[in-house]
Amino acid sequence: MGESGAGKTTSLRNLDPATTFIIDADRKGESWRGWKKQYNVDSKNFFQTSKVPTIEKIMEKVDKELTSIKVLVIDGLSTIMVDDEVERMKEKGYDRWISLAQCIWKIVSDAPLMRDDLTVIFIGHAQTDRDENGFEFTRLKTSGRKLDKLTVESKFNTVLLAKCIDGNHIFETQANRSTAKSPIGCFEKVIENDAAFVVEALKKYEDGEE
């Protein structure tokens, strides 16, 4: 998670296109030179949509059929929530917020149930709240209080906060007035924003390798 321009999408640059599938919910493409040659519909590793039913179908297809894919990226979760909210604007009452929470919760809940050799990366915008005393806290930006209460980050064992500091794009891996977190001893507190490095480090950690 991170603010716009923090390097979230750019962190995907070193992933292997042959084993990576990107769902571009933001529909803005990737942000590094030559990405269109790496990721496109013809290569069957790229699709642009923010519609939850379509995303669920792609997740199922990657899980069951496209077994050569080892990393599935859903970029970005915040856009999926906003677009779903806009589509539900004609609905009346509290029920639309329940439906919104259910559809997002289902996506993040289904990810851990996919095959063991598949890593799923969700990308979303961050929101920094400030109280009357000036205390700041950063979390994943969500739509509606229902999702705030559910705490989407609780569904993940690794949450990285993307930041740009003095022109350097980094990930914070541990809570520092934020919901960032990672397995104990897996990462330094600050690492380069490289998703390929993160995926490899987590694999080695889970397998007990140094």
Kindly state the average pLDDT of the residues 51-68. Answer: 95
Strand partners, 123: 75
Taking the C-alpha atoms of residue 67 and residue 34, their distance in angstroms, rounded to an integer, is: 25
Residue 130, in any domain of the structure: yes
pLDDT category at 98 given cuts 50, 70, 90 is: low
**Residue 7: Cβ within 10 Å count:** 21
4 within a domain of the structure (yes/no): no
1 within a domain of the structure (yes/no): no
Looking at residue 147, its pLDDT comes to: 53
What share of the chain in percent tops pLDDT 90?
Answer: 71
pLDDT at 74 over 60: yes
Say if residue 191's pLDDT is above 70: yes
Domain assignment of residue 30, yes or no = yes
- Residue 145, in any domain of the structure: yes
User: Residue 20's pLDDT band (boundaries 50, 70, 90)?
Assistant: very high
Local structure of residue 174 (DSSP, 8 states): S
User: How high is the pLDDT of residue 84?
Assistant: 75
Instruction: Establish how many alpha carbons lie within 13 A of residue 1's alpha carbon, considering only the half-sphere containing its beta carbon.
Output: 24
The predicted model gives 183-196 an average pLDDT of 97
Listed in order, strand segments (DSSP E) in the chain are 20-24, 46-47, 71-75, 119-123, 126-130, 136-140, 161-165, 168-172, 190-192
Least trusted range by pLDDT, from 72-81, 107-116, 138-147, 148-157: 138-147
Asked if residue 2 belongs to a domain, the reply is no
* C-alpha triplet 40, 42, 43: angle, nearest 5°: 70
Read off the pLDDT of each residue in 114-135 and give the average, rounded to a whole number. 92
pLDDT of residue 21: 98
Residue-number span of the structural domain to which 155 is assigned: 9-206
Higher pLDDT, 146 or 6: 6
Q: How many domains does the chain have?
A: 1
Confidence check: pLDDT of 88 > 70: no
Tell me, what's the pLDDT at 131?
83
Within-domain flag for 3: no
What is the pLDDT of the chain when averaged over all its residues? 89
Residue 103 pLDDT: 72
What's the rounded mean pLDDT across residues 11-36?
A: 96
The neighbouring-strand residues paired with 169 are 164
- Contact call for residues 181 and 157 (beta carbons, < 8 A): yes
pLDDT at 190 over 90: yes
Which of 5-19, 49-63, 80-94, 170-184 is predicted least confidently? 80-94
The verdict on residue 114 lying in a domain is yes
